Amino acid sequence: MHYLITGHTGFKGSWLSLMLELQGHTVSGISLDPEERSLFNQANLSNIFEHDVRLDIRHGSELSKVIRQINPQVIIHLAAQPLVRESYKYPSKTFETNVMGTINVLEATKLLKDLRFTLIVTTDKVYKNLNRLRGYVETDELGGDDPYSASKAAADIAAQSWIKSFGASPIAIARAGNVIGGGDWGTDRIIPDLVDAYSVGEVPLIRYPGATRPWQHVLDCLNGYLTLANSQLITGTGGEWNFGPQSSATHSVEDLVDAFGRSWGVEGALWQQNSMLQPAESNYLLLDSKKAHNLLSWKEKLDFDTTIDWCVNWYRFCKIGDPTNEIRSFTQDQITRFFSLF
């Protein structure tokens, strides 16, 4: 099967590309240039792609031309402006990328003769956040207060409209939680902030220690996407799907930092609260993934503590690994170990 991943140079895109390559699929990608410190560069992934294209998804006509040339059988749309704080700085770019970029990808699918399935990936933050103690289900109201959340909710609604109006081939929408794992070096991301601080003996500054999030290892999340894709290739149905940890396994930022620090072997203070005024973010956020559990037989393989240990092991190895060889092998080994679990 020929998969096209938008955003393939990013954190999730790099892991997904390796997963598909290990499963014997042909993989192509469209993305911006990778960040200098990225899993894509560290694991030297550029040579695993049939087509490795650098293109801004806001450029609709050029995007459509390239996608027609690639002619994939499955599209997984990951490309986005993914940061809440960045969206406050650049709201127009965030909406253009997340909303119109998604529309541009969908527009390009109209003329693909071999396309069998398209997956649009949004986020858990598409739900109108009422700080509920229960997890949000796929039929709950969408919304968003900050520009990032609003743009992803708008992209989700636009994709739903597209499915009803133009969906010639099956299209589905995946909503996932806060994904963590080795190789995440993104700005304003909790795990790389911890690694950078602990590596030099500093105490990291934490913005919202009491905020609760659906933390999940990147492999569990991506396995959900692929489980959905495999199901849809057979059944031809679409819809919206949550992929997150069980509500009982949800932890606060403080829980995450404490567990990471202990696994890293930190002695002394594990964190300090950042006293600077911060942009508003949701305090409590949970996903209900029973639909995926019941209809796709998808379930998480890694619990919270194991997720933290796998993250720490990856970053510790990164400090000694050869970026052109050993880091890719170590990442592949984690993928192989993951799929060997129950």
Other Cβ atoms less than 10 A from the Cβ of 111: the count is: 12
Domains of the chain, each with CATH number or no CATH: 2-182+214-247+286-307+323-340 (3.40.50.720)
Tokens of 54: 């650098």
User: What pLDDT score does 84 carry?
Assistant: 87
User: What pLDDT score does 278 carry?
Assistant: 57
User: What pLDDT score does 277 carry?
Assistant: 53
Contact, 208 vs 273, CB < 8 A? no
Other Cβ atoms less than 10 A from the Cβ of 139: the count is: 7
Distances in whole angstroms, Cα of residue 57 to Cα of each of 22, 96, 97, 102, 270: 27, 9, 7, 8, 40
Enumerate the H helices of the chain as residue ranges.
11-22, 39-42, 60-70, 84-89, 91-95, 101-108, 147-166, 190-199, 218-235, 253-264, 290-296, 304-318, 326-340
User: What pLDDT score does 322 carry?
Assistant: 67
Other Cβ atoms less than 10 A from the Cβ of 277: the count is: 5
Per-residue model confidence as pLDDT tens for the chain (342 residues) = 999 999 999 999 999 999 999 999 999 999 999 999 999 999 999 999 999 999 999 999 999 999 999 999 999 999 999 988 899 999 999 999 999 999 999 999 988 989 999 999 999 999 998 877 788 999 999 999 999 999 999 999 999 999 999 866 899 999 998 899 999 998 878 999 999 999 999 999 888 888 888 899 999 999 999 999 999 999 887 899 999 987 656 788 999 999 999 999 998 778 888 766 555 556 667 899 999 999 999 999 999 999 999 999 999 998 766 666 799 999 999 999 999 997
Pairing of strands 205-206, 239-243: unpaired
Strand partners, 6: 30, 77
Distances in whole angstroms, Cα of residue 68 to Cα of each of 61, 108, 120, 166: 11, 7, 18, 17
SS (H, E, C) 15-71: HHHHHHHHCCCEEEEEECCCCCCCHHHHCCHHHHCCCEEECCCCCHHHHHHHHHHHC
Q: 């149905």: which residue's tokens?
A: 237
Strand partners, 179: 216
Query: H or E element: which one contains 1?
Result: none
